[in-house]
A and B are shown apart, each in its own frame.
Chain A
Amino acid sequence: MLSIDPRSATPPFEQLRLQLMEQVRGGELAAGAKLPTVRRLADDLGLAPNTVARCYRELERDGFIETRGRNGSFVSAQGDAAEQQAQVAARAYADRVRQLGVSPDAALDWVTAALRG
């Protein structure tokens, strides 16, 4: 189930993206499950079609969903898309930290603070 609160401080686009990500990650949306069309979901949630289309594009870019032409959008077959993306991001961060010559302990502290913040 997706829920959009127009009074929330979080923009609707972000609310939608995070919920879809969590549902894919948590297995509520199983691999291969078909998502509603952009227009249908936009109508259901009272959002602009562009908002939903952008959300789908970002989820596709991050490997959570895939678009199969006119057949629509489906939950991507890879179950651990979020962890894989997080690992890619962690790798990029670690490479950058090394380039900058920052100590690993300091880099870890900053990540921890950022995650808790």
Chain B
Amino acid sequence: MDGGAWFISILISIGMIVGFALTFVPFCARWSAHRHAASIRIDLPAHLERTVAARLMARSRGGSLGGLVFTAAAALAFHFEVGVNNDSQLTGLFIVGSTFAGVATGTAVAALTGSRTISPDRPRVARARAVAVSDYLAPFELIGARIVVFAAVGVLLVTTVVAAPGAGGSLFAIAFFAIFGAVSLALFEVASRRIVDLSQPAGSTAELVWDDAIRASSLRDLVTAPLALGAYCLVFGVFGIAESSAHPAAMLVSWVVGSIFALTGLAAAVYSIATRPQRYFVDRLWSDLRASDLDLVADVA
């Protein structure tokens, strides 16, 4: 493993350790809760601040821990060449991809293991309609992740047939990202359904809204892994084929296809920022909160 890959591994590990440590600082927990409230534009009632902050921190803790474990495991695997190719220039990206998978795994575990109880003599509220994963994630992300991973697996199949001669390192990159992307997509599909199926004990509308907010955020963390790994496969893997291919025609095709994927990814990122997918669940499940978030406060009062 080269120096650049080590640098990336250490940088990510430090970031994960710092992130993990900050989850135990009350000020950071409150700041994170209010930042989340601002991003989804929903008031955070004072009496819910502590609960919401604690749940967000538990999720962050899981993500940081998962990211750290996966990053360290990937770095060691590449260093000792345990079942992986060590001579690729993309090793740093493999490490980053492993971090995404780790964060998703840790977030999923944290989201599935947290439990909430409510005093039996308190009034309870619940939604009268069944919900699905598609109520929390914008189609752009939900369907996009599937398309990207399926395309990555398709690219893997095509390249193993067309570009296999003399492209061992690039093929490894494509195989790495495509397989990890497919695994993380499978993890997402299973974990997201289980998260949505968890009960939502709530004593007020505000509690239910915030439970939805935390769920939506967890699901977005989960879907990031297959999206990122699939995109890495489509862009860096295909460009890698172009660089290492011995056939001019294959090189040209790889460049064109890689450029198309890169431009599509860029356009998708811009579209994602513009449409604010973090608020998708509000429009879908709480459209009546659009006019005024004061409803939440009134409800709590």
Contact = CB atoms under 8 A, between A and B. Distances in A.
A44 B197 CA distance: 11
Interface in B183-232: 197, 199-202, 205, 208
Interface string B116-147: 00101111111111110000000000000000
Nearest to B196: A40
A9 to B, nearest CB: 14
B126 A2 contact: yes
Q: How large is the interface on A (under 10, 10 to 19, 20 to 34, 35 or more residues)?
A: 20 to 34
A49 B131 CA distance: 19
Contacts of A43: 199, 201
B126 to A, nearest CB: 4
Contact of B130 (A4, A5, A7, A35): A35
A69 to B, nearest CB: 15
Interface string A35-62: 1110011011110000000000000000
A23 B126 CA distance: 13
A11 interface: no
A44 B128 contact: no
Contacts of A36: 126-131
Q: How large is the interface on B (under 10, 10 to 19, 20 to 34, 35 or more residues)?
A: 20 to 34
A23 B129 CA distance: 11
A34 interface: yes
Interface string A7-46: 1000000000001100100001100011111001101111
Nearest to A36: B130
A33 B135 CA distance: 14
Nearest to B288: A1
A7 B141 CA distance: 43
B125 A3 contact: yes
B101 to A, nearest CB: 30
A14 B272 CA distance: 45
A91 B5 CA distance: 81
A104 interface: no
Given A34-B130, A35-B130, A40 B123 contact: no
Interface of B: 118, 120-131, 197, 199-202, 205, 208
Given A1-B208, A2-B127, 19 more contacts: A1-B126, A3-B124, A4-B126, A5-B123, A6-B120, A6-B122, A23-B128, A34-B129, A35-B128, A36-B131, A40-B199, A43-B201, A44-B124, A44-B126, A44-B201, A45-B124, A45-B126, A46-B118, A46-B120
Pick the 3 closest A-B CB pairs, nearest first.
A43-B199, A44-B126, A34-B130
15 contacts: A1-B205, A2-B125, A4-B125, A6-B121, A6-B123, A7-B121, A19-B128, A34-B130, A36-B127, A36-B128, A36-B131, A37-B130, A44-B124, A44-B127, A44-B199
